Amino acid sequence: MLEQLESTYTQALAELETITHSDALHDWERRYLGKKGAVTLALRATGQLPKDERAAFGKRANEIKNALADAFTGREEMIRQHELAQSLEEGEIDVTLPGRRVPTGGLHPATQTLRRIYAIWAEMGFQVYRSRDVEDDDTNFTLLNIPPHHPARDMWDTFHTTTPGVILRTHTSPGQIRAMHDYGENGTAPIRVILPGMCYRYEQLSARSEIQFNQVEGLAVGRHIHMTDLKGTIAEFARRMFGAEKRVRFRGSYFPFTEPSIEVDVECMICGGDGCPVCKYTGWVEIAGAGMVHPVVLQNGGYDPTEWSGFAFGMGPERMAMNVNGIKDIRYFWQNDLRFLEQF
């Protein structure tokens, strides 16, 4: 066994002299000095020798192990220095090369659309009012003429929190109540605001539906405001947003907080009105729900509905961005795929 050990020692030193890369060096260490290495196994076999040979064999085996470990350390340092020098040489900077442009980020397509919407409504005399994402049930539903157990609550699949009565807002409409209380001066001043923000609904994901999405609420309260004012205002917005050549249509609808209620569609820009999955093959894309503010909502906001009237609308910026840019799936907005986002 001693002759075999000496042969292993000689072979290990010879192999070590030929190694020039760190990967090969660590493979060498595993084969000779590792837990199942040749020298380690030889040491473990000392007990199999006759008693009078064990001491001499064990002493020599430990000397060989220490010698190989020292040789390994020296070789490791030499290879490290060599690889460092090689890395510095290969990574040398050519100061004569032109500078590289620092990559910069960009605005999210939803943000771009929101800013365009803000600009249009600002031109039309509306100011921005921010309301909260986390709402109480009363403001989100009851004060909007949707009392508990009202069947209309099924229109909004709600995310509830662990605190009873506290939810993630399902729409930006509760901001109407807060805006009337903050800006209405106890029901004595007119209001013209938009209320942008994120909404949350527990819905099935599809090309048209997401569990979170932006919405832009609009509210105008004053004396002698009529449905014709609402239709003219929405039509003017659509012309500025999508182009004067795009057709707009109004459809009768139902919302508990407006009466009468309408939905607003614009001609689909993806298919040009021919029909596609985004427009459900109708040729039209819904951009807003709207209507005259319900008297109960006006009263809850502090206004006398016999003297004051108003209109409200809710718009989907992502739907608009899809229509303007030919985007076929609303889920792209929140997947954070740079291949999609960098196109904007």
282-325 confidence digits (pLDDT tens): 888 888 999 999 999 999 999 999 999 999 999 988 888 887 78
Residue-wise pLDDT for 90-144, tens only, equals 766 777 878 888 888 889 999 999 999 999 999 999 999 999 999 999 999 999 9
pLDDT at 124: 95
Per-residue pLDDT band at 280 (split at 50, 70, 90) = confident
Task: Return the residue matching tokens 């659309």.
Answer: 113
Q: What is the token pair recorded at 100?
A: 């590289």
pLDDT at 278: 67
Q: Which carries the bigger pLDDT value, residue 262 or residue 15?
A: 262
pLDDT at 156: 78
pLDDT at 113: 92
pLDDT at 315: 93
Q: Is the pLDDT of residue 89 over 90?
A: no
The alpha carbon torsion through 241, 245, 251, 255 (nearest 10 deg) reads 0
Q: What percent of the chain has pLDDT over 90?
A: 44
Asked whether 289 and 314 are in contact (CB, 8 A), the reply is: yes
Mean pLDDT of the chain: 88
- Please report which helix (H) or strand (E) contains residue 312, including its range: strand 309-315
pLDDT at 25: 86
pLDDT at 178: 95
Q: Which carries the bigger pLDDT value, residue 237 or residue 100?
A: 237
Q: Considering only 120-124, 125-129, 276-280, 333-337, which range has the smallest mean pLDDT?
A: 276-280
Residue-wise pLDDT for 28-75, tens only, equals 888 888 888 888 888 788 777 788 777 887 888 888 888 888 888 888
Q: pTM of this prediction?
A: 0.67
Per-residue pLDDT band at 168 (split at 50, 70, 90) = very high
Residue burial 80-103, b: 16+ Cβ < 10 Å; e: rest: eeeeeeeeeeeeeeeeeeeeeeee
What would the mean pLDDT of 151-161 be, rounded to a whole number? 84
CATH number listed for the domain at residues 109-341? 3.30.930.10
Per-residue pLDDT band at 255 (split at 50, 70, 90) = very high
Per-residue pLDDT band at 239 (split at 50, 70, 90) = very high
Distances (CA, A) of 341 to 111, 152, 197, 327, 335: 11, 36, 20, 11, 9
Where exactly are the structural domains of the chain? 2-90, 109-341
Asked whether 193 and 129 are in contact (CB, 8 A), the reply is: yes
pLDDT at 199: 93
pLDDT at 49: 79
- Longest Cα–Cα distance of the chain, Å, equals 117
d(CA 98, CA 114): 38
pLDDT at 90: 72
